[in-house]
Amino acid sequence: MNDTHPGSVVSGPLRAWIRARTGINITEQNQAPVELALRLEAQRHALDPANYLARLLGGVLPPQAFIDAITTNESYFFRAQDQMRVTVTRLIPDLMRRRPGQPARLLSLPCARGEEPYSLAILCEEQRIPPQAVEIDAGDISATCLAAARRGIYGALALRRTDPTTVQRWFSPQDARTYQLEPALLRRVNFHQINLLEDAEAVLGRRFDVIFCENLLIYFDSETAARALAVIGRLLEPDGWLFVDHAEWNIPGERFHMQELDGCVGFRPRGAVVPARADHSRGDIVPGATSVPHGTGRPPGAATPLPSMRQTGTTTPRRLAALAAACPAPASAPLGVDPRLAQAEAHYQAKRFAAALCSFDAVLTSRPADARARLGKARVLADCGEDFEALEVAEALLHATDAGELRLSPPDYVEALVLVALLLHQKGLKDLAQGYLREVQRRAPRHPSLGLLHPPQTPS
């Protein structure tokens, strides 16, 4: 696969620049979206990539548009649903009892296009927690994301895990494909442009009771993740809670310890007082939540995250049950095919993209190494115009297969190559697409996509 990157412009200096500006660790596995961003930005400035790069790295061009283009902003409402539920049903009510008159302070960093903090705001509304009792702040490095977050307009993908009643209650249809969030909810979240590694403390200027830092540490190498956690440690109240995605649970033990509350895993600053726990049946306070041994970074029985692979969601039994309820298995499926995968593929064939994505995510939650589900997810994302995310998933899949971490059948491998090639071709990056097409030609000499190969190929 390395020869599919003949004209790669993602050089060492560019990787170093990205790491210095954002913390994101670009490797061979995730360089395709960067490559795409670079070429598109170069086109936008009417420069060739090398020239654009020289100006970007030389500080002649402002960095923000490029940073916005390379960040992966995939998110959706109620993604970290267990942590959100615990925050709204347990942590906020406890704080309201212990600190009457003082608002609970929540931070969603990174917040992408606002899906996470607005989910918290919706849950607060539904629990009848008034705005003066909770302050929700949210931040992201991407200016484009923050502008979208402030508008509060979302499509079906962002709402793929939101039940229709909730959509009906809190969103109004904007057009055939998008929904506008209620203005009252827009007002419940304060958005800030923040680079977690640089200016989070200066911008926010205070501590928080609960911090959601979901799906960011996974993009950092261990040294950068440690720096990020040091910042989060300073932003968190000494008895606060940090929530990260389960693929990020391998947080080093010196600063935080893992704790479970109501079947949900969070992290507490070391030395934190074990929290008082409300016994809702009697309305009084009982001794606290359960600490989880820290050694492996996972509670006993949790799935082992694969190294260098992004995963979706958490694998707590409750979450699996919720996913199972949201995406019921079909009544019958061909023998030997996972019914949930078959269902996902059926949704995809029928162009029910949100349902397909939801089902592929459900498969990946229980079986992160399911290569076919990853390919399915990449296809859905591509069909929905989420090209960067699609490229990220498809390219990581190809690399993980090359490295022997995942198993993809030969025809599916070719389909993943074709998907990457088509995405690049469609974006006008035809030379880059050619490398992938040549690999397709080697493996499947009659593949219809080879019509895009230059010089045109005639099957022999």
Ligand X SMILES: C[S@@+](CC[C@H](N)C(=O)[O-])C[C@H]1O[C@@H](n2cnc3c(N)ncnc32)[C@H](O)[C@@H]1O
Distance CA 44, CA 273 (A): 53
**Residue in 25, 29, 31, 73 binding ligand X, rule: CB under 6 A:** 73
Contacts of 246 (CB under 8 A, 6+ apart): 265, 298, 302, 303, 305, 311, 313, 314, 315, 316
Question: Binders of ligand X: how many residues, by CB under 6 A?
Answer: 23
In the complex with ligand X, which residue's Cβ is closer, 75 or 314? 75
Asked whether the beta carbons of 398 and 31 are under 8 A apart, the reply is: no
- Choose among 446, 401, 396: nearest CA to 30: 396
- Work out how close the CB of 30 gets to ligand X at its nearest, in angstroms, rounded to a whole number: 12
Asked whether the beta carbons of 401 and 389 are under 8 A apart, the reply is: no
Q: Does 415 bind ligand X (CB under 6 A)?
A: no
In the complex with ligand X, which residue's Cβ is closer, 75 or 441? 75
In the complex with ligand X, which residue's Cβ is closer, 29 or 75? 75
Distance CA 444, CA 73 (A): 34
In the complex with ligand X, which residue's Cβ is closer, 389 or 439? 389
How many CB atoms sit inside 10 A of residue 121's CB?
28
**HEC-encoded secondary structure of 67-127:** HHHHCCCCCCCCCCHHHHHHHHHHHHHHHHHHCCCCCEEEEECCCCCCHHHHHHHHHHHHC
Place of tokens 């190929």: 457
Q: Does 116 bind ligand X (CB under 6 A)?
A: yes
Query: Site residues for ligand X, window 134-163 (CB under 6 A)?
Result: 140-142, 145
Q: Does 194 bind ligand X (CB under 6 A)?
A: yes
- Choose among 143, 235, 239, 249: nearest CA to 196: 235
Pick the piece of the chain touching ligand X (CB under 6 A) from 18-26, 247-255, 320-328, 370-378. Answer: 18-26
**Residue in 9, 23, 360, 381 binding ligand X, rule: CB under 6 A:** 23
Q: For CA atoms 405, 243, 142, 154, give the dihedral sign.
A: positive
Single-letter code of the amino acid located at 395: E
Q: Does 197 bind ligand X (CB under 6 A)?
A: yes
Q: Does 196 bind ligand X (CB under 6 A)?
A: yes
In the complex with ligand X, which residue's Cβ is closer, 232 or 341? 232
Q: Does 314 bind ligand X (CB under 6 A)?
A: no
In the complex with ligand X, which residue's Cβ is closer, 214 or 345? 214
**Residue in 33, 110, 152, 269 binding ligand X, rule: CB under 6 A:** 110
**Residue in 214, 361, 395, 439 binding ligand X, rule: CB under 6 A:** 214
**Residue in 91, 112, 371, 396 binding ligand X, rule: CB under 6 A:** 112
**Three-state DSSP class for residue 1:** coil
**Residue in 74, 386, 392, 415 binding ligand X, rule: CB under 6 A:** 74
Q: Does 81 bind ligand X (CB under 6 A)?
A: no
Distance CA 189, CA 258 (A): 28
Question: Counting beta carbons within 10 angstroms of the beta carbon of residue 201, is it exposed (0 to 12), middle (13 to 18) or buried (19 or more)?
Answer: middle
**DSSP state letter for 304:** P
Q: Does 362 bind ligand X (CB under 6 A)?
A: no
Angle 175-176-179 from CA coordinates, rounded to 5°? 55
Angle (deg, nearest 10), helices 353-366 and 371-383: 150
Q: Does 439 bind ligand X (CB under 6 A)?
A: no
In the complex with ligand X, which residue's Cβ is closer, 230 or 350? 230
In the complex with ligand X, which residue's Cβ is closer, 124 or 216? 216
Pick the piece of the chain touching ligand X (CB under 6 A) from 37-45, 70-78, 156-164, 380-388. Answer: 70-78
Q: Does 71 bind ligand X (CB under 6 A)?
A: yes
Q: What are phi and psi of 424, to 5 degrees?
A: -70, -40
**Residue in 4, 22, 315, 316 binding ligand X, rule: CB under 6 A:** 22
In the complex with ligand X, which residue's Cβ is closer, 232 or 437? 232
Q: Does 389 bind ligand X (CB under 6 A)?
A: no
In the complex with ligand X, which residue's Cβ is closer, 197 or 342? 197
Asked whether the beta carbons of 383 and 353 are under 8 A apart, the reply is: yes
Distance CA 106, CA 235 (A): 11
In the complex with ligand X, which residue's Cβ is closer, 61 or 203? 203
Element (H, E) at 372: helix 371-383
**Residue in 174, 195, 250, 290 binding ligand X, rule: CB under 6 A:** 195
Pick the piece of the chain touching ligand X (CB under 6 A) from 22-30, 150-158, 255-263, 417-425. Answer: 22-30
- Work out how close the CB of 147 gets to ligand X at its nearest, in angstroms, rounded to a whole number: 12
User: Contact positions toward ligand X, by CB under 6 A?
Assistant: 22-24, 71-75, 79, 110, 112, 116, 140-142, 145, 194-197, 214-216
